[in-house]
Chains A and B, each alone.
Chain A
């Protein structure tokens, strides 16, 4: 599904150079739910932006769905973002001037669906996140949790194969965070591949796979996963 090899990304600002990703390698298979953790500044968002074709990278190769996406032009990248990838941002990133219905409509418009199909998809997506009755509300009239659910509905309405979430629960209290997490698990259960960046070890542990980042590189996720597995085995044995 996603295969990154030797990716590096350097930010140049005046004289300062920041290596956000260094020789970054990661393969994610279809249907996985990957949680990415790591300290602040370790390159998690950068990785997500590159994975989502929001940003270019300096070196390495990236195959998405078997397609080499490193050389694609802006239009092709836009189309892939539109058709294959759903984004959930930490700050929700809803468009304040548009109501809930129209916000969910945005990616569908660029997809070129007919009005009837769009309406149907929006309805279904809003039902999934439990906001079917709020179509006419403006984002400012919703709670944070509701806004994030609108953002999730927007990411899902086009039925992308691939969902990228950058701290989707970062701005939510723990109850709402759990609701959002449950929703993501349900979506993953239906076959959508999910990569989620999070600071919350609790949530990370619920994901099927964990990737830990440090200084722009993946560090021993196998150990981390092994540790969990050991614990799970012990728990099972103890039971």
Chain B
């Protein structure tokens, strides 16, 4: 029966090409707009590290000006000073994974390689737990050791892409790179890794690329002056001293800890309070205690990764889809009731209501599927447009298999939703009445 109904649906499509096209376009437009917004929104609102997002906590300390908060009504800054970061890194109780991380950049060259040009890479200084806490996958080698981490040994971890550019993609563990006057030994190469949003450091945008190289925080600390310094936003409430931002109350470093449960969180909170109270005695932290621990999803909220207008746009796009569907309902009603005579004949010849209903649902499903394909094409074009308009959304704005499946599913569901009422109406047609009035 399905094949028969599909044949009838195709026939009907060919008989009324204009109305059919209108309906397909209406569904397609609605789906296209919805999918565009939905795919942007889904990736923005997505959980970048679902297995661990509730045990990873970003730390905030309120070292801001005594006169005003960092943000209204009483928000602490979203990064830490260098000295607090290093202090917490050292003093966080044993057994609690912790990491300090800050964006940087430098010029790397492969010593002795004539054909590889030196290049500027966006890099990240981090303490070693970074890799295990954030589940960074390695293809070659591994993270540096704890002693390398403590000593600030001249070691480096490369991204897959950078390894390809510098070493043609081969296992480069043990090879050396020159940065400034230092030679750094490659200890690991990570696989493609792109948490979206890039939760671990939102200061340069939630959808920034992951970094191309990673170096120990202690090594970076020694090269405060001669490497590229901090790349990322640096916020200050008072002018930094002559020694520079690393010795100031300016904030720019991210600090994360991994806490398995509520007790651990409470203990760590107490630890932070104790630390700040101690610093208060030294004349810092003039504001009342205002330390924060935010798990990953809270952290994304705090940083307003999904802005309100994105939610509004998503809502509007669904309303637009609803309007498109209402139009389709109207067109379908007109189209179906226009063939009431034929339906009356089919009913007289023995088609049950279910059969008539099924026939029209198949037709509607077909329109929905075609509308979905059109919608997919429109969504693809729409995302292309989003990419052009907002450089920051480049990573977000692309289609994947999942979204394609959602689009087609949504289209068929939308088509069916629009078609249920007209199909129901037409299957209530009485055989006799339509046979009498020729």
Contacts and interface: CB of A to CB of B under 8 A. Distances in A.
SS class, residues of chain B in contact with chain A: helix
B350 A97 contact: no
Given A45-B436, A90-B438, A97 B11 contact: yes
Given A90-B438, A95-B342, A154 B432 contact: no
Nearest to B350: A82
A168 B349 CA distance: 16
Contacts of A55: 430, 432
A110 B345 contact: no
Given A78-B347, A82-B349, A154-B349, A54 B354 contact: no
Contacts of B185: none
A164 to B, nearest CB: 10
B350 A110 contact: yes
Contacts of A79: 350, 352
A87 interface: yes
B431 interface: yes
A161 interface: no
A124 to B, nearest CB: 18
B148 interface: no
Interface in A20-64: 45, 49, 52, 54-55
Contacts of A83: 350
Contacts of B342: 95-97
**Interface size class for chain A?**
20 to 34
Contacts of B1: 109
Nearest to A86: B349
A81 B347 CA distance: 9
B349 A87 contact: yes
A110 B432 contact: no
A72 B350 CA distance: 14
Contact of B435 (A93, A94, A95): A93
Contact of A74 (B4, B352, B435): B352
B74 to A, nearest CB: 69
Interface residues of B, number: 25
B12 to A, nearest CB: 7
Interface in A60-100: 74-75, 78-79, 81-83, 87, 89-91, 93-98
A49 B430 CA distance: 11
A148 B435 CA distance: 15
A55 B432 CA distance: 6
A178 interface: no
A176 to B, nearest CB: 18
Most buried by A among B4, B349, B435: B349
A107 B432 contact: no
Contacts of B436: 45, 49
B287 interface: no
Nearest to A106: B349
A109 B4 contact: yes
A81 B348 contact: yes
Contacts of A106: 345-346, 349, 351
A98 B350 CA distance: 17
Given A87-B348, A97-B11, A97-B342, A75 B353 contact: yes
B432 A81 contact: no
Contacts of A75: 352-354
B435 A54 contact: yes
A81 B11 contact: no
A54 B355 contact: no
Given A97-B15, A109-B4, A89 B435 contact: yes
A110 B11 contact: no
Contact of B431 (A54, A97, A154): A54
Interface string B410-438: 00000000000000000000111001101
30 contacts: A45-B436, A49-B435, A52-B348, A54-B431, A54-B432, A54-B435, A74-B352, A74-B353, A75-B352, A78-B351, A78-B352, A81-B348, A82-B350, A83-B350, A89-B435, A90-B438, A91-B438, A93-B348, A93-B435, A96-B342, A106-B346, A107-B349, A107-B350, A109-B1, A109-B4, A110-B346, A110-B351, A110-B352, A111-B350, A154-B349
Q: Which 5 A-B pairs rank lowest in CB-CB distance, beginning with the nearest?
A: A82-B350, A54-B432, A91-B438, A78-B352, A55-B432
Interface of A: 45, 49, 52, 54-55, 74-75, 78-79, 81-83, 87, 89-91, 93-98, 106-107, 109-111, 154
Given A81-B350, A89-B435, A95-B346, 6 more contacts: A49-B432, A49-B435, A93-B435, A97-B11, A106-B346, A106-B349
